[in-house]
Amino acid sequence: MCTTMNLYDTDSIWGIVMKALVHDGKGSISLQDRPKPSIKEPSDALVRVTRSTICTSDLHILKGAVPRAVPNTVLGHEFVGVIEEVGSAITDLKPGDRVAVNCETFCGECYFCKRGWVNNCEHGGWELGCCINGCQAEYVRVPFAGNTCTSIPDSVSDEDALFLGDILATGWWGANIADIEEGSTVAVIGAGPVGLTTMMCARLKNPAQIIALDIDDKRLLLASEQGLADKTINPKTINPVNNSLDALEAVVKVLTHGRGADSVIEAAGGNNTFDMAWRIARPNATVVLSAMYEQPQVLPLPYMYGKNLTFKTGGVDASGLDEVMALIEQGKLDTSRLISKRYALNNIVEAYRAFETHEDDCLKVVITPWEDD
């Protein structure tokens, strides 16, 4: 709950503070009193956060794998909330509206935005929780709110819409650019939250089969039981001795008439998953890299020669989310199965620990509002 404090910040309401999770740029996080944000630009909105979550990208920031991340910033970019106030340029949102907020802020007018490449917006991109204060707090200032916020229909709950702006947007983007044809084979590397939403979105394109690859048998079982994957492969069980990809490549070829996968979407970001992606792809396939990597990856061109692969890399161009919201409302995309645990904002540090360690097979945690004693 917001309290009074004798503190002034140019982006904040004078004298009012809120609870927020802050990282120090050295791998540590702490729950702090921070100034409540306020409208700074005419295109801003002030949003009261009703649900947020933790993303693997937040962990990448803590590990120093996101060089552009600004220390002493409130973390978080995946959330829903209620509009509290809007800037003078906002005409399609009003106080009281429920919204899901895009992980990327974008102006809609620059060279890149006009072509749908909002990740490269000249005035935005991935800002929230990275370069400016994010959503793991009671309130957040959202730039370019008219583009960044998607209205939530009355029939859709906050938790149903929670993942729209990031992992579901990433899955939608990955499936859309993977050149998936009806009757084709799609391989998705990683059965974590992004991998599972990618399978959900790929399924809408009616491939003949989706092959899920992960080293966690429980996640593979979930993908199979939920109808997201037709075949599952644990690479560790194929060649547990030397971790060679030769045997895995052979297994995928058996499942694909000797060719390899028509489309491969790499959503894991593991030590060898980039190599895995191009190895299991057929010649002339499309390989989408939606994962974030903590280490540089090597493109072994001599070994790839003649395979004629098309690579498409992240980050996600998270535009067109009205269409995705409509699919949620129609029941065609259901992410409720990803929710493992819920924590009040009071206990968000503990939530980070549970999420990072996969405690009790944790997939996603939901952060609910601050609870007063």
SS3 314: coil
Query: Which among 282, 285, 294, 290 has a CA at the least distance from the CA of 313?
Result: 290
The residues, ordered by sequence, that sit 6+ positions from 161 with a Cβ below 8 Å of its Cβ are 80, 100, 150, 152, 325, 328
Q: Categorize the per-residue pLDDT at 4 as very low, low, confident or very high, splitting at 50, 70 and 90.
A: very low
Say whether 171-313 and 3-163+335-368 share the same fold.
no
Q: What is the pTM of this model?
A: 0.92
The residues, ordered by sequence, that sit 6+ positions from 77 with a Cβ below 8 Å of its Cβ are 55, 57, 58, 103, 126, 128, 129, 130, 134, 135, 165, 166
Q: What share of the chain is helix, strand, coil (3-state, %, to 5)?
A: 30, 25, 45
> What single-letter DSSP state applies at residue 294?
S
- According to the model, what pLDDT value does residue 317 have? 80
Task: Spell out the domain ranges in the chain.
Answer: 3-163+335-368, 171-313
- According to the model, what pLDDT value does residue 316 have? 81
State how far the alpha carbon of 152 is from the alpha carbons of 139, 159, 204, 326, in Å: 18, 11, 22, 9
- The mean pLDDT value for 109-127 works out to 92
CATH topology of domain 171-313: Rossmann fold (3.40.50)
**Over the stretch 305-347, which tens digit does the pLDDT of each residue have?**
999 999 999 778 887 899 999 999 999 999 999 999 999 999 9
> What single-letter DSSP state applies at residue 336?
G
**Over the stretch 173-194, which tens digit does the pLDDT of each residue have?**
999 999 999 999 999 999 999 9
- According to the model, what pLDDT value does residue 11 have? 56
- According to the model, what pLDDT value does residue 345 have? 98
With b for 16 or more beta-carbon neighbours within 10 A and e for fewer, the 8-31 pattern comes to eeeebbeebbbbbbbbeeeeebeb
- The mean pLDDT value for 76-102 works out to 97
- Predicted confidence (pLDDT) at residue 10 exceeds the cutoff of 80: no
- The mean pLDDT value for 162-183 works out to 96
With b for 16 or more beta-carbon neighbours within 10 A and e for fewer, the 56-89 pattern comes to bbbbbbbeeebeebeeebbbbbbbbbbbbbbbee
Do 119 and 170 touch, CB atoms closer than 8 A?
no
Amino acid found at 89: A
- Other Cβ atoms closer than 10 A to 244: 12
**Over the stretch 273-315, which tens digit does the pLDDT of each residue have?**
999 999 999 999 999 999 988 889 999 999 999 999 999 997 7
- According to the model, what pLDDT value does residue 292 have? 87
CATH of domain 3-163+335-368: 3.90.180.10
**Over the stretch 39-51, which tens digit does the pLDDT of each residue have?**
999 999 999 999 9
- Predicted confidence (pLDDT) at residue 205 exceeds the cutoff of 80: yes
